[in-house]
Every structure is written in C-alpha cells, then in structure tokens.
C-alpha cells in the first residue's frame, strides 16, 4: 500500500458541533491508524490473516468499551466519542473496527449491562486492556436474521449448566478467551452465558475462504456437553431483548464506522482524480468524474449529519432501536455505493492492493449484512412507521 495520505473531510463544518475532546480523540485514533493499521493491513487482508497484536494496541488506545464507566476499565466517554473512534478505525479497515465493536459492544456491554458486579470486575478491566479477547455468539447455522429461533440450549444440572449447540459466523471466535453466548433454557427462555476457552467440549473452528473482512478472524462456536459454572450466567436479562440490546449498541458504532470506509474511498479517489492524466488532462477535470465525486461527498455529508444527530439522541438516552437501524442501513448502503464509484474512478488501479478501495468494497459486503441485513433494517423502519410487522 502507498503512504497513508488521508485527510478528514468535513464539507458541512460538522466539526463545529463537536467538543475539543471529540476532536482530540479523532486526532489520536487517526494517528494510530496511520501508524499501526495502514502500513500492515493490506498485507494481512491479502493473506487472510488477523493481526493478533492489534488487540493489545487497541486496548492501549482505549478502543474497547469507550463508553463503559471508568471504574470497570472503560473510557467513560460519551456516545459521539465512541462513534468517532469506530469511524476512524473503519477508515483503516472494517475488520479492525469489527474487532473493536465485538469486544466493546457485544462482549463488554452485555457483561456491564446484564452482568453481576462480580462478573463486571472479573472480566471488564481485562477486556478493556485487550488482556482478554472476547466474542459474541448469537447467529446459528439455521438462524441468522431470526435469532429468536435459536436451537442452542442449556439445562440446569444442579451445580452447573450443561450447554449444547453451535454458533456460526462468529467474529474473533478462534482467538477468543471468552464467548458471550445466547442460548435457551429448559423453559425456552433466551439467556446469556459466559463461556471460557478451556471448558471441556467447547471448540472454535476457523471459518476459511472469506472474500470479505479478510483481516478479521471468524469462526464457529461448538458446544458439546459443556459444563458452564452457574456464576457464568448473566443474571439481569432474559429473552431476545438481551442480544438485541447489544446489537443496538454495535449497530450504532457501525453507522459511524461505515462512513469511515466511505471517507477513505472518497479521499483516495479525489486525490487520484487530480493526479491521473488522460487525454492531456487530470481525469478530475471531466464532468463525469466530477459528478461522481460531488455525489460521493454529498452522500457522505448526509450520513455524517445523521449519525451526529443520532449520537446526540443516544447521549440523551432518546435514540430508538429503529432510529439506529435507519442509520446503520443508510451508512452501509452509502459506503458501498461510494466504494464502487471510487473503484471506477481509479480504473484498473482500483482493483489492486496499491489502493485501499477494493478491500473496503469487499469488507462492506459483510458490514451491510451482519448485525441485521440491509433488508431487515428496512423492515424495522417499515414496522416502525406503519405499526405493522412484515417479518413473518
């Protein structure tokens, strides 16, 4: 990859709406990405390898659980800070942002929100530092968009629970020390359990052959009569609202994050359009190229405003899951379109690892699918505005 020359784009002076702290956070995560992510990421993605050392480094910069209270090792920051961190990380790579999203929103958040005080103190400080690595097991081979149909189950055996079933498509799974797993009890109620590596009968096979999120590790979680200690049950939630609460937090981060990938594609295409000469002129001087660039920055700007407002609502505790769905869907769709258009501006060079565009483009195919597909989020908005459920 060429030198990382990225410059942030803020066409509508949205920075005026941010605090000094927000801008400092962005500066420091941007510097981290330039120094630690950009120089290595293309190579790891080409080899479909996960840069394991990044877990510790992400912990050191406070990218894990930034809005978890400081007493549990989190950053105690507001929701806009969290969004900015996700955006800067995804500007580097969606896989790196996914690593941080899973650890913060899908592992630390449920332990903080639904866990006992003992569980919080036992796991959260180590997860925040990257000394423990976690994953989130909801999706199953037969249940993706409809997780409530899950088959993974556990039985009360007196002094322990016995867990059986399988989860698939689990980010971080092959290297995770702990997994927050959603399973049904004897009464068919969904509960969360903390499963630890080393428990007998628990394995995490790697998923191979991905053309997307290649620098993020994905795997299965297989439970074959796993004895889980009773103190590992998350005591304070029951039902599908448990995992959905985590997904709302992660989707909020994705809504910000995908804009980072779009910004990187736009920035690359803009620079290229001024340097690449065809027919004796920079290609940026042709109207068709300008149309592409103008539409890209227009869509990016609209998405930036949407997530900023969502961040304000979230800070006030007023953001609804449906509002989060709308922003997640909009950002992912916008980012994919921007990446495809940027790819065209770069012509043949757009498909190479010399530039980050093809990697972002392939990554975004996952980002638009996980944590609720494009169509599922549309149905959530549809249900919200009509009051009618079109899922079944």
Ligand X SMILES: Cc1cc2nc3c(=O)[nH]c(=O)nc-3n(C[C@H](O)[C@H](O)[C@H](O)COP(=O)(O)OP(=O)(O)OC[C@H]3O[C@@H](n4cnc5c(N)ncnc54)[C@H](O)[C@@H]3O)c2cc1C
- Which residues are tagged catalytic? 371
Size of the site for ligand X (CB under 6 A): 22
Q: What are phi and psi of 349, to 5 degrees?
A: -60, -25
Residue found under tokens 């409809």 = 146
CB-CB contact of 154 with 110 (8 Å): no
Which of 37, 55, 127, 170 touches ligand X (CB under 6 A)? 170
Q: How far apart are the C-alpha atoms of 282 and 302, rounded to whole Å?
A: 28
Q: Hey, what are 96's tokens?
A: 């790196």
Name the helix (H) or strand (E) containing 373: none
Please state the closest distance from residue 176 (CB atom) to ligand X, in A. Answer: 10
> Given the complex with ligand X, which of 136 and 223 has the nearer CB atom?
136
Going by the DSSP 8-state scheme, the letter that residue 351 receives in this structure is: G
Going by the DSSP 8-state scheme, the letter that residue 117 receives in this structure is: H
Please choose, out of 76-84, 278-286, 295-303, 374-382, the segment that lies near ligand X by the rule CB under 6 A.
374-382
Per-residue x/- track, 65-94, ligand X (CB under 6 A): ------------------------------
Which is it for strands 134-137 and 178-184: parallel, antiparallel or unpaired?
parallel
35 in contact with ligand X (CB under 6 A): no
Which of 145, 236, 290, 352 touches ligand X (CB under 6 A)? 145
217-236 residues in contact with ligand X (CB under 6 A) are 218
Please choose, out of 61-69, 163-171, 286-294, 355-363, the segment that lies near ligand X by the rule CB under 6 A.
163-171
138 in contact with ligand X (CB under 6 A): yes
CB-CB contact of 253 with 319 (8 Å): no
Helix (H, G, I), strand (E, B) or coil at 180: strand
Q: Hey, what are 120's tokens?
A: 């919080």
Going by the DSSP 8-state scheme, the letter that residue 61 receives in this structure is: T
366 in contact with ligand X (CB under 6 A): yes
64 in contact with ligand X (CB under 6 A): no
Which of 87, 103, 171, 304 touches ligand X (CB under 6 A)? 171
Residues at the contact surface with ligand X, assessed by CB under 6 A: 102, 135-139, 144-145, 169-171, 213, 218, 366, 369-371, 373, 375-376, 379, 391
């Amino acid at each position: 990859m060429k030198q990382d020359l990225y410059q942030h784009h803020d066409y509508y002076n949205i920075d005026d709406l941010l605090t000094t702290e927000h801008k400092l956070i962005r500066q420091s995560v941007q510097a981290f990405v330039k120094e630690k992510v950009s120089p290595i990421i293309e190579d790891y993605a080409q080899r479909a390898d996960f840069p394991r050392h990044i877990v510790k480094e992400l912990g050191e910069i406070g990218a894990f659980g930034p809005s978890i209270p400081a007493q549990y090792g989190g950053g105690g920051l507001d929701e806009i800070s969290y969004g900015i961190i996700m955006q800067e990380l995804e500007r580097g790579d969606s896989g790196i942002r996914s690593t941080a999203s899973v650890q913060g929103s899908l592992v630390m958040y449920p332990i903080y929100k639904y866990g006992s005080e003992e569980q919080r103190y036992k796991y959260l400080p180590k997860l925040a530092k990257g000394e423990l690595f976690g994953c989130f097991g909801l999706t199953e081979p037969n249940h993706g968009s409809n997780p409530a149909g899950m088959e993974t189950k556990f039985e009360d055996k007196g002094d322990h629970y016995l867990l059986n079933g399988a989860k698939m498509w689990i980010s971080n799974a092959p290297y995770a020390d702990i997994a927050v797993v959603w399973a049904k009890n004897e009464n068919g109620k969904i509960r969360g359990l903390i499963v630890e590596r080393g428990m007998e009968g628990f394995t995490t096979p790697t998923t191979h052959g991905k053309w997307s999120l290649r620098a993020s590790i994905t795997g299965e979680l297989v439970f074959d009569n796993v004895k889980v200690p009773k103190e590992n049950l998350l005591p304070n939630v029951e039902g599908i609202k448990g995992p959905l609460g985590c997904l709302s937090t992660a989707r909020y981060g994705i809504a910000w994050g995908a804009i980072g990938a779009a910004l990187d594609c736009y920035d690359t295409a803009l620079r290229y359009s001024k340097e690449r000469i065809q027919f004796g002129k920079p290609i940026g001087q042709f109207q068709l190229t300008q149309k592409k660039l103008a539409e890209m920055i227009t869509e990016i700007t609209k998405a930036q405003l949407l997530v900023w407002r969502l961040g304000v609502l979230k800070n006030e505790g007023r953001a609804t899951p449906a509002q989060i769905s709308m922003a997640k869907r909009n950002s992912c769709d916008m980012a994919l379109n921007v990446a495809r258009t940027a790819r065209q501006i770069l012509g043949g060079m757009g498909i190479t690892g010399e530039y980050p565009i093809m990697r972002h483009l392939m990554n975004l195919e996952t980002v638009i699918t996980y944590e609720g597909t494009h169509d599922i989020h549309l149905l959530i908005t549809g249900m919200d505005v009509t009051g009618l459920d079109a899922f079944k």
